[in-house]
Amino acid sequence: MVLVVLAAVCPRPTFAQAPSMSEPAVKAGLLFNFAKFTDWPADQLAPTAPISLCVVDPAVAASLETLAAGKSIGTHPLIVTRVKLDESIRACMILYAGKLDSKKQDQLIALLAGASTLTVGDAEDFAVRGGMIGFFVDQGRMRFAVNRDAVQRTRLTLSSQLLNYAKLVRNGP
């Protein structure tokens, strides 16, 4: 699954875009892989605690529910939860917020300050504004940008395997 999803988004010519995957399915696959390639601090994720994948977008949530059904990552079962952007999201291990305007992006980032929640969004400038991972389309392929500074502030660790496929960005001025 890792190669299929990364092949769908990878800018390298050795992989072909998976033509039959819908955009929500590609995003769901990426979110699943982000969970596989992220390490949370031990005080934030107990050895057998579930990894909560929180999703605002209903189409992506449905695809992720299908993909993650009955699956675990190591000793961690996966739980997909449909959420609204409120205080409850601090319990999420990964939050896919979808496309937010600048004001809502800033509110989300402030709401999750200090939380070990991997934030993922669709807005073109999501990662530059302080989100951790932002989806974007480049030459017809779904790609993602990673703000390593934002990730490090949360004590999360992203695998170098994942970072090899990312566009690395920093917070804007």
What pLDDT score was predicted for residue 9? Answer: 46
Domain residues of the chain, as ranges?
2-169
CA angle 31, 104, 157 (to 5 degrees): 35
What pLDDT score was predicted for residue 3? Answer: 41
Per-residue confidence band for 88, with pLDDT thresholds at 50, 70 and 90: confident
Task: Give 48-76 pLDDT, tens digit per residue.
Answer: 999 999 999 999 999 999 999 999 999 99
Dist. CA 112–CA 117, nearest whole Å: 7
Backbone angles phi, psi at 137, to 5 degrees: -105, 130
**Could you tell me the pTM of the whole model?**
0.86
Place of tokens 């807005």: 123
User: Which architecture characterizes domain 2-169 according to CATH?
Assistant: 3-Layer(aba) Sandwich (3.40)
